Amino acid sequence: MSDELDAYSAVVTRVARTVLPSVASLAVTTARGAGAGSASVIGTDVLLTSAHVVAGAARATAAFADGTQVVADVVGRDPLSDLAVLRAGEPLPPPVALGDAAGLVVGQLVVALGNPLGLAGSVTAGIVSGLGRSLPTRAGRVVDEVIQTDAALNPGNSGGVLADAAGRMVGVSTAVAGIGVGLAVPINATTRGIVDTLLADGRVRRAWLGIVGRQAPLPPPLVARLGRRTGLHVADVVAGSPAALAGLHVADVVVAVDGASVATTTEIQRLMVAGAIGRPIEVTVWRNGALVDVVAEPTELAV
């Protein structure tokens, strides 16, 4: 047992030694007052943090373990993924290595590094408790594929690093859902694209249809035809929305959008990218015992 504990300690110690120099305590001042969080270096002069940490702020002060303090400007925030990027006016410590959350498995060791409760340079360890969670945001949407961990997270951890045993950042700590339940936005192809877009454009554009629904079983004839069992039962259509103008109705069951099968609002969200704004797209619904195609033109989502 002592050998196993020594091996565990060695992994956590190595991750801390590797990653902590690239993790900053973030001090933020807004019209509402002062706030704090964490951030990580991901480029020569680029910091990554949570969008809610820098909400309402134009800049923040990043303090590193070696005592260095750097002022960084907020380049862009994306409340719908709870990610934000900052750019410093001077070189930063070496960036943390980026991993890919797609390779995580439940039970895998992870290490959280950040600034909980103002305690800079804190390290906690745990496991991946769950994958594919959904995190509601203040903007009314959900972040997909969120990582659940039992590594202790507290206020101030937001924006910090969730690292794997190799010291690669696989998530950005974002929320405490309860005792022993922490959540992190994954580092994957989608979030890397969001970060790149924020750096280039300062914001992420998304499309909007204007329907609210829930996953529901499909009738047997449609199951046999489509080869799947569920679709999105439309519970509400926002008045004046692209969906309303296209003729979508409450009680329609959406089975495809722009040629892609859908069964949840999350799956529709994934399709509502910038390229869909103003472009006619086909929405296939099950209505009165028949498949019906309607054409909608998504508008830009106002955040």
| Rounded alpha-carbon distances, angstroms, from residue 259 to 215, 221, 254 | 18, 20, 12
Q: With 80 as the cut, is the pLDDT of residue 136 above it?
A: no
Q: What pLDDT is attached to residue 80?
A: 86
Q: Tokens standing for 276?
A: 């869909």
Higher pLDDT, 212 or 94: 94
Cα 301 to Cα 44, 138, 214: the distances in Å are 32, 14, 20
**What local confidence, expressed as pLDDT, does residue 43 receive?**
96
Secondary structure tally for the chain: helices H, strands E: 5, 20
Q: Where in the chain is the domain with CATH 2.30.42.10?
A: 207-300
Q: Of the ranges 118-122, 169-173, 216-220, which is most confident?
A: 169-173
Best CA proximity match to 190, nearest among 146, 157, 137: 146
Residue 96: how many other CB atoms lie within 10 Å? 23
CATH architecture for residues 207-300: Roll (2.30)
Instruction: Name the band, by pLDDT with cuts 50, 70 and 90, for residue 101.
Output: very high
Active site residues: 52, 82, 158
- The answer on pLDDT for 21 being more than 90 is yes
Does pLDDT of 176 surpass 90?
A: no
Mean pLDDT over residues 230-234, rounded?
92
Summarize pLDDT for 179-213 with one digit per residue, the tens. Answer: 778 999 999 988 999 999 999 999 999 999 999 88
Phi, psi of 205 (to 5 degrees): -85, 135
Q: Which of 15-24, 190-199, 259-268 has the lowest mean pLDDT?
A: 259-268
The candidate with the shortest Cα–Cα distance to 272, out of 145, 146, 141, is 141
In this structure, is the dihedral angle defined by the CA atoms of residues 10, 12, 15 and 20, taken in order, positive or negative?
negative
Rg (CA), the chain: 22
In the predicted structure, residue 135 carries a pLDDT above the cut 80: no
Q: Is the pLDDT of residue 140 over 60?
A: no
- The mean pLDDT value for 83-91 works out to 94
Residues of the chain with CATH 2.40.10.120: 1-204
| Whole-number average pLDDT of the chain | 91
pTM: 0.84
Separation CA 158–CA 162 (nearest Å): 10
pLDDT for position 23: 97
Sign of the Cα pseudo-torsion (216, 218, 220, 224, in order)? negative
Q: How far apart are the first and last CA of the chain?
A: 52
Query: Can you tell me whether residue 103 is helix, strand or coil?
Result: helix
pLDDT tens, position by position, 41-53 = 999 999 999 999 9
Average pLDDT value for residue range 97-104: 94
Q: Give yes or no for a contact between 254 and 213, defined as CB atoms under 8 angstroms apart.
A: yes
CA distance 133 to 117: 25
Given CATH 2.40.10.120, say whether it is the number of domain 1-204. Answer: yes
Average pLDDT estimate for 285-291: 91
Average pLDDT over residues 276-285: 95
Q: What pLDDT score was predicted for residue 225?
A: 85
What one-character-per-residue DSSP string does 240-255 give? TSHHHHHT--TT-EEE
